[in-house]
Amino acid sequence: MLFSENFKIALRALRANKMRSILTILGIVIGVATVVALLSIGKGATSSITDEIESGGSNLLNVSPGRAQSGFPGAGQSQQASYLYYSDYQLLERGLPDNISAMVAVFQSSYLIKFGDESFNANVSGVMEDHQEVRSFTVADGRFITDGDNKSDARVAVLGQQIADDLFGSLSPVGKIISINGVKFEVIGVLEAKGSSMASPDDSIFIPLETGYNKLFGETATRDGKKIVNNILISVTTTEAMDTVSAQVEFMVRRSHELKTTDQLDFNVLSQSDTLDTLSAVTNTLTIFLGAIAGISLLVGGIGIMNIMLVSVTERTKEIGLRKAVGATKNQILTQFLIETMTLSLLGGILGILLGVGIALVFTLTGLIPSVITADSILLAFTFALAIGVFFGLYPAFRAANLHPMVALRYE
């Protein structure tokens, strides 16, 4: 019997029980849609995180204080405090080679911000002139902090876009006076909005670092009589030089902190690639985990197909016996039932792909997560659905093919 004839018989058998066929296909549709949607959303999340990290600066090294903690918190082992000093920045500034395009120190803390009747706590960062270059900030109105502002202890501030909106609404903030922890600062600029991203400047206020040390930060910015910083950001000229510069930074800061080669580091040197690798591993693991959950729904759909095909074999036992009596072979019966199973899987796969793409597009349009729909995820979901359908259809097909003609004809 030709494949086309078997296909027509399969469609006729499915149409004879439309509701049952639709409910059977539904399991495959949900499984395929879930796989396509989750894989697309997972890839979109990974792409979004990558873009956010790369938008924070080009070839960036981030030196921060921190010592790894052994054991579990509260189990009698506490993390020893560690600090990064302004003198560490000065040492690196003097000693690092020419393949550094910019380097800045940052100290940040949270303070009460006031203007008129508006007041709230916000992150305030003491920064240097090159901070704008290192972090790839764009000033939408006014100007950024300059070296002259730092040298003169100028009480000036640059606002993130969200801070500006919260304090001033539709008014232009430039030239206005705000209060930061009771200290008056003149707003000289507003940054262009970056949106909700990692370390977004939208919710921050930037002031000259020296002004912060002398007029705002107080004892919170000193340890053992020395100024401390939260980060030292280093912009490297080329990607190829990142590892070399990172090793040099580690060596110099280790020596500055009087650490032996066997001592545990009390600081961290992270590059964009380190951060990307870590976050990509997390998002990829999460995507695989969600894909596995979606695969379970496909398995459930496959079980549904096997169940419905077993019912179909039972209902059509006499038909099978009649066909065998007039010369139909086992292979022909087997092929017919497998085609019926594959038809269910094929229809469910196509509908599931359309539904999954639709769900991914809805997520993109709502702005929650920009999904990335790829041919790989569609092909994977469709192939898996077809394989599930065939696998779970084999047993009913073999059962139908192995029926004895005389037994089948006498079946009531």
pLDDT digits (tens, 9 = 90+) for 330-366: 777 777 777 778 888 888 888 989 998 998 888 888 8
Strand partners, 121: 112
**Torsion-angle region of 209 (φ positive above 0: left; ψ -120 to 50: alpha; else: beta):** alpha
Q: What are phi and psi of 236, to 5 degrees?
A: -90, 145
Q: How confident is the model at residue 15 (pLDDT cuts 50, 70, 90)?
A: confident
Highest mean pLDDT among 17-26, 247-256, 402-411: 247-256
pLDDT for the residue 60: 85
Region 3-29 average pLDDT: 74
Region 10-20 average pLDDT: 73
pLDDT at position 70 over 50? no
Q: How confident is the model at residue 228 (pLDDT cuts 50, 70, 90)?
A: very high
Region 244-253 average pLDDT: 88
Q: How confident is the model at residue 199 (pLDDT cuts 50, 70, 90)?
A: low
Contact 297, 386 (CB under 8 A): no
**Torsion-angle region of 310 (φ positive above 0: left; ψ -120 to 50: alpha; else: beta):** alpha
pLDDT at position 411 over 70? no
* Residue range 85-116, pLDDT digits in tens: 999 999 998 888 678 888 999 999 999 999 98
CA 231 to chain centre: 24
Q: How confident is the model at residue 412 (pLDDT cuts 50, 70, 90)?
A: low
Highest mean pLDDT among 133-137, 268-272, 319-323, 406-410: 133-137
Query: How does DSSP classify residue 215?
Result: I
Q: How confident is the model at residue 196 (pLDDT cuts 50, 70, 90)?
A: low
Round the average pLDDT of the chain to a whole number and report it.
81
pLDDT at position 391 over 90? no
To which H or E segment does residue 278 belong?
helix 272-315
Nearest alpha carbon to residue 319 among 209, 400, 222: 400
Any idea which of 101-105, 185-189, 380-384 has the lowest mean pLDDT? 380-384
Q: How confident is the model at residue 52 (pLDDT cuts 50, 70, 90)?
A: low
pLDDT for the residue 158: 96
Nearest alpha carbon to residue 165 among 111, 122, 133: 122
**How many angstroms separate the CA atoms of 27 and 6, rounded?**
24
**How many angstroms separate the CA atoms of 185 and 204, rounded?**
14
The percentage of residues in the chain with a pLDDT greater than 70, rounded to a whole number, is 85
pLDDT for the residue 3: 62
pTM of structure = 0.65
CB contact burial 186-200 (16+ within 10 A = b; e otherwise): ebbbbbebbeeeeeb
